[in-house]
Homo-oligomer: A and B are copies of this chain.
Amino acid sequence: MPEIYIYAVEGRTMDQKRALVKDVTDAVVRHFQVTPGDVMVQIMETPKTSKAKGGILFSDRPGEPGSPMTPKGGT
């Protein structure tokens, strides 16, 4: 109240999450005149096998392990 949902692919560290929810909360407090205790933040992590841009799953992008676009022996 406000409630903030951040959708991102998996893989961030605890320190990255900790810093992000802190700064996002501060921004909401600063601009929307609420107290920190009113602000709820959730990071919604999605596997790369379930998120796509341009119609291509993140797990299928060139360079991803197991991607059909990654050459054998490649990165």
The chain A residues found within 8 Å of chain B, CB to CB, are 1-9, 12, 14, 16-28, 30-32, 36-37, 39-46, 49-57, 59-60
Contacts and interface: CB of A to CB of B under 8 A. Distances in A.
Q: How many copies altogether?
A: 6
A7 B17 contact: no
A49 to B, nearest CB: 6
Contacts of A27: 20, 23-24, 27
Contact of A39 (B18, B23, B31, B53): B53
B16 A20 contact: no
Given A7-B3, A8-B32, A40 B53 contact: yes
Given A4-B6, A6-B28, A32-B12, A45 B50 contact: yes
